[in-house]
Amino acid sequence: MESSVNSSVAPAKARPRAHYPFWPKRLPHAITLPETALWDNLETSARRYPHKTAIVFFGRVLTYSQLLQKAERLAACLHGLGVKKGDRVVLSMQNCPQLVIAHFAILRANAVVVPVNPMNRAEELKHYIVDPDAKVALTTSDLAPELARASDALPPAQRLAHLIVTHFTDGFDADCAPDDAPPQAWNDWLMTRHALPPLQDGQVHTWEAALQTTGDAPAQTVGPTDLAILPYTSGTTGLPKGCMHTHASIMHNAIASGLWGNGSAENVVLSVVPMFHITGMVSLMHTSIRAGATLIMMPRWDRELAGRLISRWQVTHWTNIPTMVIDLLGSPNFASFDLTSLVYIGGGGAAMPQAVAQRLFEQYGLRYIEGYGLTETAAPSHSNPPDAPKQQCLGIPFMSTDARVIDPDTLAEMPVGEQGEIIMHGPEVFQGYWKRPDATEAAFIELEGKRFFRSGDLGHVDAEGYFFLTDRLKRMINASGFKVWPAEVEALMFRHPAIQEACIIATQDAYRGESVKAVIVLRPSHRDLVTEQELIDWCRDNMAVYKVPRVVQFVEALPKSGAGKVMWRTLQEAEKA
């Protein structure tokens, strides 16, 4: 498949529809994109601010010139390993400086970043190697054995040829100051320099060796219409699908997000939302790097560390999921944290409880800015205007974006206040699903001569143009902002020899919003021989932890339709009741 796809760099210049009276007056309705690739954003910021702090990681400061130099060296290494224009390269890491270096190095090598959730296990990882035809992967030493195990289990022609491995301690000093130090409970995970695994039919390279490459990086030959990022998203059936994003679609939301949130080189951004996820990747990493801002990086959530870092580094911008804010406010040490530097706080993935949003406003004068977007829309397709947000609301269509609500059956546009499917058209919308023309065709419709993406989410628009989410057309569980697709979990569970039938539904969770529940029919040969906890433990070994059922229920049979299909809605409604 070609790495360059059809894409118009110039956005539609039409003004938004008349019922958006709360559009920020300081902002244009649409933006003109630069005709450059994403690498140019780092190169430009490093030229403008060579000595400015780009990243802080447990007290270790990385300047823009240092970030650029490391990315250039790693790009030269990738080039030397045979990575060519359009090749897909797997990147599986928690938030750390090495992730940013690797991400931009892949782009500098004219290749395509395949961001992979580091919580995935070997059985899941096989797909992220095979489907994008990846031959090179970059990861951390705690995750390297899973990637190697996944590769080794594949036929020789599909295996990885190269695995570049870094240790977390390549990115920070173990003896950093107490306010910057990681939680004690993380020490074994962060401080251990795990032994590198062998890779069957391939080579494993250390991070240090990769950055000492002496050759030149290739000439930069990609442009706005070339493929840049291939993030994967699951769905109601089958394996996860790659979303084809060009340099232009990511560039749009990197620029627009900066404008929307008053972005500048003076921003200090708490980066705890995972950067393998589209929101962290675009709205935090790409937006900040383009602006020349500073990223204060956390590899995973810890409320005490977050409070210390916001206070210590005077964080100005914090994009999160609401459960993080709730957790921080509940800290017994909350009174000792200084949050007065914050000027912007917002996020998505789940609705912010009204009482929590009200507390933020009353105590700090902060309005929590909720937004909405999908992997297919490079994160935001909607966001609340910072000066006029509504609570538990998706916001208004983002810059350069036309969004509607339609009847999912007739495709007719719905009147104000009436529920329908949310659809979007704009330069941030992806080009289609990798190797899946059938799924691509099903995901788009044409309306008034424009190509709209069907979100699969149900919502309505109020009289002032704000969108609200009301339900889902797609079968999906939202666990603390992580999307869990039942069909994918079921497919993994069917590999257990004791399981005859499985149905995954959502169960209510006071903290996560929703959690995963598995309703299981055991094979007659295994009844009374396997427990619910044993199945949960098996799931932990074979799938990402957020997909693992928190509850397992054994039943004699699953409800089925006359055609023999499992009636999951019946089980879901019974669970809600």
Please state, for a pLDDT cut of 90, what percent of the chain lies above it: 75
Give the domain 477-576 fold. Answer: GMP Synthetase; Chain A, domain 3 (3.30.300)
Predicted TM-score (pTM) of the model is 0.88
3-state SS, residue 302: coil
Confidence at residue 470, expressed as pLDDT on a 0 to 100 scale? 84
The 8-class DSSP code of residue 281 comes to: I
Exposed, middle or buried, 491 (CB in 10 Å: 0-12/13-18/19+)?
A: middle
Does residue 8 carry a pLDDT above 50? Answer: no
Exposed, middle or buried, 99 (CB in 10 Å: 0-12/13-18/19+)?
A: buried
Confidence at residue 486, expressed as pLDDT on a 0 to 100 scale? 86
In degrees rounded to 5, what are phi and psi of residue 336? -85, -10
3-state helix, strand, coil in the chain (%, to 5): 30, 25, 45
Confidence at residue 4, expressed as pLDDT on a 0 to 100 scale? 55
Confidence at residue 188, expressed as pLDDT on a 0 to 100 scale? 87
Weakest-pLDDT range from 123-137, 152-166, 318-332, 550-564:
550-564
Exposed, middle or buried, 259 (CB in 10 Å: 0-12/13-18/19+)?
A: middle
Residue type, 487: A
What Å distances lie between residue 423 and 91, 402, 530, CA to CA?
Answer: 30, 8, 45
Closest C-alpha to 195, from 141, 255, 269: 141
Average pLDDT, stretch 396-407? 96
Confidence at residue 18, expressed as pLDDT on a 0 to 100 scale? 46
Overall size of the chain counted in residues? 577
CATH tag for 39-454 (out of 3.40.50.12780, 3.30.530.20, 3.40.50.970, 2.40.50.100): 3.40.50.12780
CA dist 565 and 168 (Å) reads 47
Q: Write the pLDDT tens digit of every residue in 458-499.
A: 999 999 999 998 877 777 888 877 888 888 888 888 889 999
3-state SS, residue 344: strand
Confidence at residue 471, expressed as pLDDT on a 0 to 100 scale? 72
Strands of 116-267 (E only): list them: 136-140, 162-166, 203-206, 227-229, 232-233, 241-242, 245-246
Confidence at residue 234, expressed as pLDDT on a 0 to 100 scale? 80
Closest C-alpha to 255, from 18, 40, 63: 40
Confidence at residue 200, expressed as pLDDT on a 0 to 100 scale? 96
Q: Write the pLDDT tens digit of every residue in 52-98.
A: 999 999 999 999 999 999 999 999 999 999 999 999 999 999 999 99
Confidence at residue 310, expressed as pLDDT on a 0 to 100 scale? 97
Tokens 């949003």 correspond to what residue?
A: 357
Weakest-pLDDT range from 270-284, 444-458, 485-499:
485-499
The mean predicted confidence, pLDDT, of the chain is: 92
Confidence at residue 19, expressed as pLDDT on a 0 to 100 scale? 52
Tokens of 488: 């994918």
Average pLDDT, stretch 128-154? 98
Residue range(s) occupied by CATH 3.40.50.12780 in the chain: 39-454
Residue range(s) occupied by CATH 3.30.300.30 in the chain: 477-576
Quick one: how far is CA 90 from the chain centroid?
14
The per-residue b/e assignment along 323-351, b for 16 or more CB within 10 angstroms, e otherwise, is: bbbbbbbeeeeeeebebeebbbbbbbbbb
Q: Write the pLDDT tens digit of every residue in 175-206.
A: 888 888 999 999 889 998 999 999 999 999 99
Tokens 């994967």 correspond to what residue?
A: 232
**β-strand partners of 136:** 89, 162
**Residue 7 — very low, low, confident or very high, per pLDDT cuts 50/70/90?**
very low
Average pLDDT, stretch 213-230? 96
Q: DSSP letter string over 475-540?
A: --EEETTEEE-HHHHHHHHTTSTTEEEEEEEEEEETTTEEEEEEEEEE-GGGTTTS-HHHHHHHHH
CA dist 9 and 252 (Å) reads 9
Average pLDDT, stretch 128-133? 98
Please state, for a pLDDT cut of 70, what percent of the chain lies above it: 95
What is the separation, in whole angstroms, between the first and last Cα of the chain?
Answer: 48
